[in-house]
Amino acid sequence: MFDQTAIYSISQKEFEKFQELIYQKCGISLADSKRSMLLSRLVRRVRTLQMDNLTTYYNYVTRVSNKAELETMLDLVSTNKTFFFREIHHFEFLKKEIVPALGKSKHLRIWSAACSTGEEPYSIAMTLIDGISKINQWKIKIYASDLSTEALRHAKEGIYSKSVVQDIPEKLVKICLLKGTGENEKQIKLKDHVRSMVTFMHHNLMDQKPPFEALLDVIFCRNVLIYFDKRTQEKLISKFFQHLKPGGFLLIGHSESLQYIKNQLTYILPTVYQKQ
C-alpha cells in the first residue's frame, strides 16, 4: 500500500528537477513561486499511478520508454484558460485591415500557435465568415496547434458550455452555433462549416518547424510569451519571422511586448507587429 500523505508535498530539489525538465521539453520557465501550482497539477496523476512521491514520478516520466507519460505531464502543466473573442481588437484588425488588404489574391493562411481548447481558431473562423461576403471564393487555411493533447481533443469536438454564447457576437450565434437539446441543453456546438475551416495539430513550439510548409499571413500567439524566458522568447519570435510572408502579421497578448526582445518585426499597434 502506498503512502498517500507523502505526495502532498514537493521538496525544493524535486521542484528544481521538474522545473528544468519542463524548460528543456517545452520552454516554459516556471518561477519559484509556481512550486505549489506544480504540486497541485501533478498530485492527482501521481495518485492515479499509485506512486508515493514526486521523485518516483520524475524517474518514471524521464525514462526513454515513457514518452506518452511525458506528454501527459506537459498537458497537466500547460495552462489552457481562454475564451471566445478574447482581446477582440485583434479580430477587428483581422476583419477591417488584413482581409481587405488581401482581397485581390483571396488567399489567407493563419496560424493559431497555442490554440488551447479551440476558442481562438474558431473565433478567427467566425470573424472571416462575418467579414468576407463571398468566402467560398477564397482559399483559407487556419492551422491551430497546441502542446496539450487533451486540449486538442476538446478543440476538435467543438463542443462548449452554453455559457460561452455571451462571448460571441449575437449575429454570429445563429450562423455558427448549434444549441444542444435534451441531455445536451447546457451545451453548444460549432457548426460543421466553422469546424471544417480549422486544422488542428499537436505541436511543441520548441520544435524547429511547425507541421506545415506554407508561409503565413497572420500568426496568433497570444499570452504565451509570458511563460518563457528572454532567450526562449527571442528564439520563438525568430521562428515566427521566418514563417511569415513579407507583409504578414504577428499578434501577441495584451500583457506582452517585443520592446526588449531582439527581433526583426515592425511595431504597428500595441500587440500587433508586421514583417516588412
From the list 168, 157, 146, the residue with the least C-alpha distance to 81 is 146
Same domain, yes or no: 115 and 207: yes
Q: What is the pLDDT of residues 204-234, one digit of tens each?
A: 998 878 888 889 999 999 999 999 999 999 9
Q: Which domain holds residue 69?
A: 4-77
Cα distance between residue 131 and residue 66, in whole Å: 46
What's 120's domain CATH number? 3.40.50.150
In a domain, 83, yes or no: no
Report whether pLDDT(260) > 50: yes
The whole-number average pLDDT for the span 251-264 is 94
The whole-number average pLDDT for the span 130-143 is 96
Q: Provide the pLDDT confidence category of residue 127 given band limits of 50, 70 and 90.
A: very high
Strand, coil or helix: 64: coil
Q: What is the pLDDT of residue 6?
A: 53
Instruction: Give the containing element (helix H, strand E) for 267.
Output: strand 266-269
Contact 192, 221 (CB under 8 A): no
What's 24's domain CATH number? 1.10.155.10
Q: Provide the pLDDT confidence category of residue 81 given band limits of 50, 70 and 90.
A: confident
Q: Provide the pLDDT confidence category of residue 254 given band limits of 50, 70 and 90.
A: very high
Q: Active-site residues: which are they?
A: 41, 146
Average pLDDT of the chain is 92
Q: What is the pLDDT of residue 80?
A: 67
Q: What is the pLDDT of residues 156-171, one digit of tens each?
A: 999 999 999 999 999 9
Same domain, yes or no: 114 and 175: yes
Q: Provide the pLDDT confidence category of residue 3 given band limits of 50, 70 and 90.
A: very low
Same domain, yes or no: 52 and 140: no
Same domain, yes or no: 122 and 198: yes
Residue bearing the bigger pLDDT, 213 or 128 = 128
Q: How many whole angstroms from its chain centre is CA 77?
A: 13
Same domain, yes or no: 47 and 160: no
The whole-number average pLDDT for the span 20-27 is 93
In a domain, 133, yes or no: yes
Query: Percentage of the chain with pLDDT > 90?
Result: 79
Give how many domains the chain has, as a whole number: 2
Same domain, yes or no: 229 and 149: yes
Cut 0.75: pTM above it:
yes
77, 108, 138 — which closes off a domain? 77
Residue environment code for 191-221, b if the CB has 16+ CB neighbours within 10 A, otherwise e: eeebbebbebeebebbeeebebeeebbbbbb
Q: What is the pLDDT of residue 95?
A: 97
Residue environment code for 47-76, b if the CB has 16+ CB neighbours within 10 A, otherwise e: eeeebbbbebbbebbeeeeeeebbbbbbbb
In a domain, 179, yes or no: yes
Same domain, yes or no: 257 and 120: yes
Q: What is the pLDDT of residue 175?
A: 96
Report whether pLDDT(139) > 90: yes
The whole-number average pLDDT for the span 27-52 is 90
The whole-number average pLDDT for the span 74-99 is 91
Question: Which amino acid type is present at position 101?
Answer: A
Same domain, yes or no: 187 and 262: yes
